[in-house]
Structure 1
Amino acid sequence: MTPMRRFDWNALDEAARRAALARPARRTDARVIETVAGIIADVEREGARAVARWSETLDGAAPAFIELTQGAVDKARARLAAENLAAIELAVENVRRHHEATRPRAAETEPYPGAVCRQVFRPIRSCGLYVPGGAAPLVSTLIMLAEPARAAGVCGRVAVTPPQRAERIAPAMIAAAALCGLDGLWSVGGAQAVAALAFGAGLPRAEKIFGPGNAYVAEAKRQIAARGLSGIDLPAGPSELLVIADASADPGVVAADLLSQAEHDADAQVILVALDDGAARRIEREVFRQLETLPRARVARQSLEEMR
């Protein structure tokens, strides 16, 4: 594999520094923008039929609602190793505890007699939770979206996740969703899922859409928000990570951090800022060593082509 590109920051002028930090060109590809605009227009015009057609074309499966019955949840939990199930339960508990403790509270002040100022927080009625998972189930993303929405008091939490190749939804995702108090998961992904949430096309409409995704999902969220169809958190995704490491950094830990994001998506971008040339070389060697052990090494390799 080609070694990572190296730059001496102090030797770069302003233009070269911007180029060194530039995002992958694929993210602003005109074809992405045009394709997403076409999908959104189709869903706006045809509703659920367009969502189904695009889902079958891109993912090979029509949208489906997976109800989290007790039987379905028990079956999913039985398929998980005890340590994995315990890890999911601990993650839900920790995220729930944090967001309940940090939930905004109403405040009232009286700057002078008779002038009362109040700050009140009210939950939105519904939110869409986009959870990437077509190639690998991102259970942590589901937890970190569903639990804050639950703590905020949002009544309608609509979770969508792309269908996996082997099965609709991974057992770990079903177990996590049940622990977060969801009554079901929608098996649909991509820009068509974002459009479906915005228009209420075949699934409940979301006032605001949260969650990361690939370039198409991020672009769909951007276009939906620009038109005022639904609010969004931010155009999250594809993944980005910058790690600053000096000579004392553990190469194994830094490499693991970089790869943890690189394996998300071929368009993910990871950058290492090394304060020591020796550290840079040690970390680079460790990245390529660990890469060979990853189940998603193919995706990570594509992402690492943009690593610097």
Structure 2
Amino acid sequence: MKLYRYPEQSSWKALLQRPVADAVSLTQRVRTVLDDVKQNGDAAVKHYTKQFDNVELNTALVSAADFEEAEQSLSEELKQAILTAKNNIVLFHEQQISQPVIVETMPGVQCWRKSVGIERVGLYIPGGSAPLFSTILMLGVPAVLAGCREIVLCSPPDANGKLHPAILFAAKIVGVTKVFRIGGVQAIAAMAYGTETVPSVYKIFGPGNQYVTCAKQLVQQEGLAIDMPAGPSEVAVFADDTVPASFIAADLLSQAEHGADSQVLLVTCSEKLIGEVEAAVAEQLAQLPRKDIAAQALTHSKLILMRDETSAMDLLNEYAAEHLILSCANAAELAEKVINAGSVFLGNYSPESVGDYASGTNHTLPTNGYARAYSGVSVDSFVRKITFQQLSYQGLQSIGSTVIQMAEAEGLQAHANAVKVRLQ
């Protein structure tokens, strides 16, 4: 990790740049796969599964027997952990469900808004270097609570053509309707366009590598909705001398191990802490099974020494981290100054990994600076909010002249007439 001492504000934009992929060649390669699946359906999906995953698929659809086998193979401890996490996620997300409130804006003029679940949604679950079954809970729970009628899940098969049993168990307990052993760009294409076996959906959710992310952005340009723009996972930590360096090192490495293109930042006003964290990172890194991946992520990660908390918070708001950890004595006070972040973790005993798995909040969050404009996934992500209105004759009399005056001023006489004919 590279150390930056007291950077001037004029340099922050360059300093806070994320790792960038070659967008032109990436887009061309992804576009080729999307177009092929659009034209050739299951045959193209089978071809790319063989090419990219080295798996020959007879059928991509997961059977009832596969679900049963997966459940039997999991330890009771892991199943209980998944159920506990699910219950917490349900409890948190249930509070997001809103009931229609009728507002009488004028006597006889009633307006309200109703949330209606998106009928068909697609969930993409990475399964390559790490089978992210926790993401099924984060996406499946709010989808079911929102009332989505069809929930389609795609995840890449392993070398034996199977999905990790925890993926299938999580999919079953949340209520996913169909699961397919399909990964990568071909999965996004199948859900976007539909094939002979994979139904097309109206909105696609879920993280993925740069190819999956690019595919989601390209199908969005064609009119399909996606959860949010996304990039590699990231964390920013603000810490003071009250936190053990080992805590900070563990938090940084927990994100660095996601992928070689992940990014982690430590922002602090304590130069002493920086040295301690560097030593702790080196010690913990050596013990990680995914140390090679984490080490690559650390090459474009940063240690930033700031003069005071005010400038530190300004810099962190400029960065707009997916995950922001405030490990300091006055975490609650500084939390009030957070403007841009996906999810915030307060104090020395709130590691980001708790939010990733089981506290109840959603871990599908805006990355790459999109936290300036986007929220994380919630029940709202899976609904459309439709407005309704109903007027009595008295209500139309009350509001009629207002509408007529405005419509005629805009030169839209038919609009005015729609009111006049009812009042005459």
How far is 1:271 from its partner? 1.5
- The higher radius of gyration belongs to 2
CA distance in 2, matches of 1:255, 1:53: 43
**AA partner of residue 138 (structure 1):** L
1:65 aligns with 2:75: no
CA distance in 1, matches of 2:44, 2:160: 24
**AA partner of residue 220 (structure 1):** A
Which segments of structure 1 move beyond 4 Å, counting only runs of 4 or more?
Answer: none
1:294 aligns with 2:291: no
CA distance in 2, matches of 1:165, 1:237: 26
The residue that corresponds to 1:12 in the other structure is 8
**AA partner of residue 305 (structure 1):** T
How far is 1:249 from its partner? 2.2
SS in 2 for 1:284: helix
How far is 1:74 from its partner? 4.3
CA distance in 2, matches of 1:133, 1:87: 19
Where structure 2 has 5 or more consecutive residues not aligned to the other structure, the ranges are 303-424
Equivalent pair of 1:136/1:164 in contact (CA under 8 Å): no
How far is 1:200 from its partner? 0.7
Which of 198, 207, 217 in structure 1 is aligned with 2:202?
207
How far is 1:158 from its partner? 0.5
The residue that corresponds to 1:185 in the other structure is 179
CA distance in 2, matches of 1:211, 1:106: 29
The residue that corresponds to 2:34 in the other structure is 40
Equivalent pair of 2:188/2:216 in contact (CA under 8 Å): yes
How far is 1:114 from its partner? 1.3
CA distance in 2, matches of 1:288, 1:165: 33
The residue that corresponds to 1:154 in the other structure is 148
Task: After TM superposition, list the pairs within 5 Å mapping 1:254-273 onto structure 2.
Answer: 254-273=248-267
Task: After TM superposition, list the pairs within 5 Å mapping 1:138-153 onto structure 2.
Answer: 138-153=132-147
Which of 121, 126, 131 in structure 1 is aligned with 2:120?
126
Which of 67, 73, 77 in structure 2 is aligned with 1:83?
77
How far is 1:270 from its partner? 1.5
Task: After TM superposition, list the pairs within 5 Å mapping 1:275-294 onto structure 2.
Answer: 275-294=269-288
Equivalent pair of 1:211/1:236 in contact (CA under 8 Å): no
CA distance in 2, matches of 1:56, 1:73: 23
SS in 1 for 2:91: helix
The residue that corresponds to 2:17 in the other structure is 22
SS in 1 for 2:62: strand
The residue that corresponds to 1:170 in the other structure is 164
Q: CA RMSD in A?
A: 1.8
Residues 52-111 of structure 1 show CA distances to partners (whole Å, capped at 9, x for unaligned) of 2222111112551212x2x54443233333322211110111112222222132222012
With over 3 angstroms needed to count, the CA separation of the structure-2 counterparts of 1:262 and 1:164, relative to structure 1, is farther
**AA partner of residue 273 (structure 2):** A
1:242 aligns with 2:239: no
1:52 aligns with 2:58: no
With over 3 angstroms needed to count, the CA separation of the structure-2 counterparts of 1:51 and 1:75, relative to structure 1, is closer
Residues 97-150 of structure 1 show CA distances to partners (whole Å, capped at 9, x for unaligned) of 222222132222012111111111111110010111111111211110111100
With over 3 angstroms needed to count, the CA separation of the structure-2 counterparts of 1:166 and 1:266, relative to structure 1, is farther
With over 3 angstroms needed to count, the CA separation of the structure-2 counterparts of 1:83 and 1:305, relative to structure 1, is same
The residue that corresponds to 1:227 in the other structure is 222
Equivalent pair of 1:255/1:290 in contact (CA under 8 Å): yes
The residue that corresponds to 1:102 in the other structure is 96
CA distance in 2, matches of 1:224, 1:62: 26
With over 3 angstroms needed to count, the CA separation of the structure-2 counterparts of 1:74 and 1:50, relative to structure 1, is closer
How far is 1:279 from its partner? 1.5
How far is 1:11 from its partner? 3.1
Equivalent pair of 2:233/2:258 in contact (CA under 8 Å): yes
CA distance in 2, matches of 1:167, 1:302: 29
Equivalent pair of 1:134/1:165 in contact (CA under 8 Å): no
**AA partner of residue 289 (structure 2):** P
CA distance in 1, matches of 2:160, 2:269: 44
Q: Identity, % of aligned pairs? A: 37
How far is 1:42 from its partner? 1.7
SS in 2 for 1:95: helix
**AA partner of residue 226 (structure 2):** I
